[in-house]
Amino acid sequence: MMIKKLTNWGLLLAVLGLFSCSNSGKTGTPKGQVSIIPMPVSVKERQDSFLLDKHTVIFARNEEGKQIAVLFNSWLKELTGYELELTDKIPGDNGIIIETAKDTLQPEGYILGVSNKGIIISGSPAGAFYGMQSLIQLLPTEKGSSLIIPGVDIQDNPRFAYRGQHLDVCRHFFSVDFLKKFLDLMAMHKYNTFHWHLTDDQGWRIEIKKYPRLQEVASKRKETMAGHYEEPGKYDGKPYGGFYTQEQVKEIVKYAADRHITVIPEIEMPGHALAALAAYPNLGCTGGPYEVGTRWGVLDDVFCAGNDSVYTFLEGVLDEVLPLFPSKYIHIGGDECPKVRWQKCPKCQARMKQEGLKDEHALQSYFIQRMEKYLNGKGRQIIGWDEILEGGLAPNATVMSWRGIEGGIAAAKQHHDVIMTPGDFCYFDKYQSKGKNEPLAIGGYLPVSKVYGYEPVPKELTADEAKYIKGAQANLWTEYIGDSDYAEYMEYPRAAALAEVLWSQPAQRNYDNFVERLKVHVKRLDLKKVNYAKHVFEVSGTPEDNKKGGVEVKLDAKLDGGKIFYTTDSSAPTPQSQAYTAPVQVLKTGVVRAQVFQDGKPFGNEYNQPFLFHKALGKKVSITPDPEPNYNPGSSFALVNGIQGIGTYNDGQWFGFKKDFTATVDLDSVQEVKMLGTNVLSIKTNWIYAPKVLTFSASEDGKTFKEVYKQTAFSQNGINQVRTVITPVRARYIKMTAQHFGMIPAGAEGAGNPAWLFVDEMIVN
């Protein structure tokens, strides 16, 4: 048993008849009312149950336990209108016992036992708190139903010590009430760290008394960009602003601490600093004038690294921040800091000379290390985004790996702590459905299932290095998220999925089982009036190789009582359309449309997938080299599945490379080929460049290939469609080669890094 001190507990457990008898329940497969998210380490269902009523009492031996009791009562009150009495005596058979001890072996573990004799929760203060959260999840979800709690023996503790959620309150501001609800939901899902992104180009949101212009100037912007930042030009003309007073900050930090959540503030430096520069222009390299940011993206004006008053200013800010936040860690940003101003700034150049710094990356590293030293001197540790690796990592820094997993791997190999937040899995500002009715989001595609499938420990690490991966975090950047309803929509249920990634054991993760539990769990979110997204329950389609040289679409909907109907003639599906019974075969160019109906009414978005029918559909393709992680490594099917990638590169269709690539398709027999095609992407802001050269060649025997087409210019920003009618050739094999662009040129975003090459669908007719 995980608890070290067993004072009274063995006795109590025996009295309650818990953990003593084996039972017929199965471990890890909840049924009925036992649907806890995140899934505990061990759940044994018992035959009996506990009936909670107005006469049930709660006994807690110490203050921490009493606090847990109070929080349990507040949930109960919402559900039933009444609260339970707290008693000083160990209750008989109608009581809940909360036992907490500080010196447990599992700092966040707990035991929860429910039988017809009573309920016991035991663990560390945090553990018992999580035990209470699990108990809440055993309560019925309908108001007014009798409170029968299923008998269980649960033993539980988290897989990762750092389980975080981040909220950007700069691009849009969120009220204290909303933050409290946000924290309640975090606690419900056993998250323990709130990363509060408090300063950025478009707004400074924490009161700093020493620098009143942060409140007067930096907290306000004159207007906000309307629409997406890749189509700039439109602004809403409305002033926008807000900041939290130090009293409000204290209130939030206390509210979080009561829920065993640590708040880590982020004060961004040296980039994302425009709001502060607008207030104090002497802190920038050019001296301004500056305006608080009104558009999104990466802006050139950053803190001057050569000017000592910048460090004095930031130390002054931190001197007020530190007493508000007892956290061991302070996040100092470090991301997306363009070096163009520093390159031309006499002070920055002088600093580089004086410190013997070889380039501006080393200057950034100097900046971060100097601030780290200051914070270490105050007993704090820094966290920074993965750019802090460039130019040399500060000695004690923890790295947040956001641009992928590489930063995390590099930091762990240098024996630095890491928090994983790779954009492809942890950025909840991305779309979660490809449906046409989604509100504007930053781009990309991150459905709940993909979040659920995330594994925070990169396989590139040895067991020893893996210990530096402390956990992961969901990030909610709010450029396009203007209100709390939309924030909740983006956060849940994706945050429920990540909670399970972080808390539960990998062997217990099972998406279908998660969705079954989620059906119950969303009723709890309903009770809390959470505006969660419902995409998980709508119809989804999975194109698959039909093993007969073609493609079929498997349709599925996880909606209770849902019936799927579909069409292939581009008409809208209705309950009179074809009912779905078996995978839909793709036999022509056209669109497969499907909708799930509940009680005759359509639920959620429809599945609407155009397919291009061609000779290579579902055929065998070999690709070299293997695509980069996340962009179809290990499987070539998406290159010939009839679906063309859309404008966002991470929609699952695109094959991503950082080298030249070749794909060869085998059409099964020699045929006449008259037309060839593919799509390549060019989105320079995302480091994606079209190939230098694209060629097609044809062969009858797979050995001798003859070039039949060559293209060297791709003018389109976005998707470049290559479609070419050729002099007909007889061929069984078609080879496509793409020559990689090379390094990203100076002056462009990502300069000096290898460009990305993205290709999708190899079209043969």
- Give the residue with the Cβ less far from ligand TNX, 41 or 337: 337
Number of H helices, E strands in the chain: 18, 33
- Residue 456 in contact with residue 160, Cβ under 8 Å? yes
**Alpha-carbon gap, residue 590 to 610, rounded angstroms:** 6
Coil, helix or strand at residue 482: coil
Contact status: 442 vs ligand TNX (CB under 6 A): yes
Taking the complex as a whole, the smallest distance from the CB of residue 100 to ligand TNX amounts, in Å, to 37
Contact status: 477 vs ligand TNX (CB under 6 A): yes
Joined together, the tokens standing for residue 549 give 């040289």
Give the chain's end-to-end CA distance (angstroms, integer). Answer: 66
Q: Is 272 labeled as catalytic in the residue annotation?
A: yes
**Alpha-carbon gap, residue 499 to 163, rounded angstroms:** 7
User: How many residues touch ligand TNX (CB under 6 A)?
Assistant: 9
Contact status: 657 vs ligand TNX (CB under 6 A): no
- Give the residue with the Cβ less far from ligand TNX, 195 or 341: 195
291 vs 168, 460, 647, 734, CA distance in Å? 20, 44, 33, 56
Give which of 674, 669, 661 is closest to 623, Cα–Cα: 661
- Give the residue with the Cβ less far from ligand TNX, 477 or 709: 477
Joined together, the tokens standing for residue 445 give 């595609």
- Give the residue with the Cβ less far from ligand TNX, 206 or 442: 442
- Residue 759 in contact with residue 679, Cβ under 8 Å? yes
Q: Which of 64, 200, 491, 552 is catalytic?
A: 200
280 vs 288, 292, 296, 318, 493, CA distance in Å? 9, 11, 21, 16, 41
Q: Is 172 labeled as catalytic in the residue annotation?
A: no
Taking the complex as a whole, the smallest distance from the CB of residue 554 to ligand TNX amounts, in Å, to 32
Site string for ligand TNX, 715-734 (x = CB under 6 A): --------------------
Interface with ligand TNX (CB under 6 A), residue from 75, 211, 427, 756: 427
Q: Which of 166, 189, 195, 272 is catalytic?
A: 272
- Give the residue with the Cβ less far from ligand TNX, 124 or 364: 364
Written as one letter, the residue type at 709 is Y
Taking the complex as a whole, the smallest distance from the CB of residue 168 to ligand TNX amounts, in Å, to 6
Q: Which of 266, 336, 465, 500 is catalytic?
A: 336
Coil, helix or strand at residue 247: helix
- Give the residue with the Cβ less far from ligand TNX, 442 or 502: 442
- Give the residue with the Cβ less far from ligand TNX, 131 or 384: 384
- Residue 299 in contact with residue 273, Cβ under 8 Å? no
Interface with ligand TNX (CB under 6 A), residue from 45, 424, 429, 538: 429
Written as one letter, the residue type at 61 is R
Taking the complex as a whole, the smallest distance from the CB of residue 333 to ligand TNX amounts, in Å, to 7
Site string for ligand TNX, 356-395 (x = CB under 6 A): -----------------------------x----------
Taking the complex as a whole, the smallest distance from the CB of residue 446 to ligand TNX amounts, in Å, to 11
DSSP-derived letter for residue 634 is: T
Site string for ligand TNX, 391-420 (x = CB under 6 A): -----------x------------------
- Give the residue with the Cβ less far from ligand TNX, 477 or 514: 477
Contact status: 336 vs ligand TNX (CB under 6 A): yes
**Alpha-carbon gap, residue 335 to 385, rounded angstroms:** 5
Q: Is 336 labeled as catalytic in the residue annotation?
A: yes
Give which of 193, 205, 201, 195 is closest to 169, Cα–Cα: 205
Taking the complex as a whole, the smallest distance from the CB of residue 428 to ligand TNX amounts, in Å, to 10
SS3 helix, strand, coil % of the chain, rounded to 5? 25, 30, 45
**Alpha-carbon gap, residue 471 to 340, rounded angstroms:** 34
Taking the complex as a whole, the smallest distance from the CB of residue 7 to ligand TNX amounts, in Å, to 47
Residues in contact with ligand TNX by CB under 6 A are 335-336, 385, 402, 427, 429, 442, 477, 479
Active site residues: 200, 272, 336
